[in-house]
Amino acid sequence: MPERFVSLSKPSADDVSLLELADRLLNRGVVLTGEATISVAGVDLIYLGLNVVLTAVQNLKANRATAAPGDNHSA
Amino acid sequence: MGDELEELRRELQLLKLPVTLPDRIDVDPEGIEQGLAQLVLTLVEFLRQLLERQAVRRMEGGSLSDEEVERVGLALMKLEEKVHQLADQFGLQPSDLNINLGPLGDLL
Amino acid sequence: MPLLLQAITTPPDAADLLDGLRGGRLISVMHADLVGWATELPHDDAAFNREDLLEHHRLISNIDRRVAACLPARFPTWFTDTEALSARLRSQKDQLLAQLDQVRGCCELAVTALWTVADEAVEAAPTPGTPGRRYLMERRVAIAGSDSRRARAMRLADELEQTIGAELVRAQRQVCPSATVALSSALLVRRSDSQQLLSRLQRTDQDVRILVNGPWPPYTFADVRSD
């Protein structure tokens, strides 16, 4: 197991402070769920941003129902 | 991004995010089958966890019939078994698919 | 020379000098009532470590003290050069001024509530029913914690926001984001009362431990992008 900065099962107040700060400071990059870079033989080829594409079907239907006629959603 | 910051980011994801993709999914020509399997299974496992969460949310929200709950539950259960089985066949550990074991993860 | 952005703010009260990150020169780029503060540095993300992250935070805090309103930049936010930053200030002028208006005179408090006891529902007897339903119910507990946990976390969030009362400008909450964390809230509050608020909010209940961090510059309520 790689050495960790903080103990995740029982984080101390300082651990939490550092992580909360990091959460706000670090570039969103890959912190958001559903983002990954797919590489082949060490070469980054595809950026995957699933958060943008996936949404609960219910939300989609609800959004479509309330969208104005002129609205245009692009991924 | 420096190693320290990558590590911080990883810990942050484990503390506050429910489901994560690994930052990078590498397909290695050395073990091309295994690499591809890892790619596919990682994505499948990630989607499976998202699907599971959504199914649970729908069940809680009352928008699934009893029959749907049973069908979806069985399907997801079988899917989970299958993913673990396939991973095993390709010599992949759960951690290779970034399967978050929750509190148990700290014990391993 | 590439610029690593620290913050975009209203014009400072005084023009005293500050050092930049890693010994680089801190410069300010101005347009209308906007000031962009940035360190001149070679663009090298791989070199950065935890100390740099904390230094970036200290720099932003120093800048925040000198201005009426401050929009922190995430780390690292790069601009090709001063012209690029200047162009950004020009093109985003209205949005930036609107954001600055919202955070004027405010700071951020970060509330994290950690569970101190195990989830009761996990200890409970296995749910009766058919296999598919049982599986989903088990997953529900594993994923979201029991109903009582989520309800408890929501009540806690409401209660904390009420405690702050009129001083609360905006709140962004995450209920049960993970198995360990009951609640994670970012609160935009008026600066004057923040220290007192901190002590009022921080406590340990029977089932949660509430940690409050800050006051910080309004990280969560700013949106500054790179070029």
**Domain range for residue B63?**
26-97
Distance from A12 to chain C by nearest Cα, in Å? 10
Which residue has better confidence, A63 or C221? C221
Q: What ipTM was reported for this prediction? A: 0.84
Interface chains of chain C (3 or more CB pairs under 8 Å): A, B
Is A17 within the bounds of a domain? yes
Say what the pLDDT of residue A43 is: 64
Between CA C139 and CA C180 the distance in angstroms is 16
Cα of C13 to nearest chain A Cα, Å: 25
pLDDT interval class at B9 (50, 70, 90): confident
Q: Which of the two residues, B4 and C53, has the higher pLDDT score?
A: C53
Note the pLDDT tens digit of each residue in A22-33.
988 986 654 445
Phi, psi values for residue C176, rounded to 5°: 50, 55
Looking at the domain assignment, is residue B69 inside a domain?
Answer: yes
Do C180 and A21 make contact, defined as CB atoms within 8 angstroms? no
pLDDT for res A53: 44
Which among A16, A22, A24 is the nearest to C112, CB-wise?
A16
Instruction: Tell me which chain C residue has its CA closest to the CA of residue A10.
Output: C180
Q: What is the pLDDT of residue A26?
A: 85
- Tell me the chain C residues in contact with residue B1 when contact means C-beta distances shorter than 8 Å: 45-46, 48
Percent of chain C scoring above 90 in pLDDT: 65
What is the reported pLDDT for C133?
Answer: 92
Per the structure, how many domains does chain B have?
1
pLDDT at residue B33 in the model: 78
Distance from CA of B1 to the nearest CA of C (A): 4
Examine residue C227 and state whether it is found in any structural domain, yes or no: no
Do residue C215 and residue C113 come from a single domain?
A: yes
pTM beyond 0.80, yes or no:
no
| Any domain includes B14 | no
What domain range is C139 assigned to? 106-221
Interface membership of B69 toward C (CB under 8 Å): yes
Assigned token pair, A19? 């992580």
For residue A5, pLDDT beyond 70: no
Q: How many of the other CB atoms lie within 10 Å of CB of A27?
A: 18
Q: Using the beta-carbon criterion (under 8 Å), do A35 and B21 form an inter-chain contact?
A: yes
For residue B106, the model assigns a pLDDT of 33
- Is there a domain that residue B79 lies in? yes
Q: What is the DSSP string of B12-58?
A: HHHHH-SS---SEEEE-GGGHHHHHHHHHHHHHHHHHHHHHHHHHHH
Find the domain containing A30 and state its range: 13-66
The span from the CA of B72 to the CA of B64, in Å, is 9
pLDDT (tens digit per residue) in C142-164 = 776 667 888 899 999 999 999 99
CA-nearest residue of chain C to A13?
A: C211
| C226 part of a folded domain | no
Cβ–Cβ contact B62 with C under 8 A: no
Q: Is residue B107 part of a domain?
A: no
Q: Are C97 and C60 found together in one domain?
A: yes
How many domains does chain A divide into?
1
Q: Mean pLDDT, to the nearest integer, of C157-172?
A: 93
Average confidence (pLDDT) over C166-179:
87
CB contact under 8 A, C130 and B15: no
* Structure confidence at residue A72 as a pLDDT band (50, 70, 90): very low
Residues C81 and C132 in one domain: no
Neighbours of C214 (CB within 10 A): 22
Q: Please say if the pLDDT value at position C53 is more than 90.
A: yes
Pull the structure tokens for residue C61: 């805090």
Would you state the pLDDT for residue A51? 53
With beta carbons under 8 A apart, name residues in chain B contacting A29: 1, 9
Mean pLDDT of chain C: 89
Domain boundary among C45, C72, C103: C103
Residue A75 lies in a domain: no
Q: Among candidates B23, B46, B26, B43, which has minimal Cα distance to B34? A: B26
CA atoms within 13 A on the CB side of C77: 25
**Residue pLDDT, tens place only, C195-224:** 888 888 988 888 999 999 999 999 999 988
Of A38-42, A71-75, C33-37, C99-103, the range with the lowest mean pLDDT is A71-75
Number of structural domains, chain C?
2
C110 and C213 together in one domain:
yes
Determine the residue of chain B that is closest to A40 in CA distance: B27
Residue C141 lies in a domain: yes
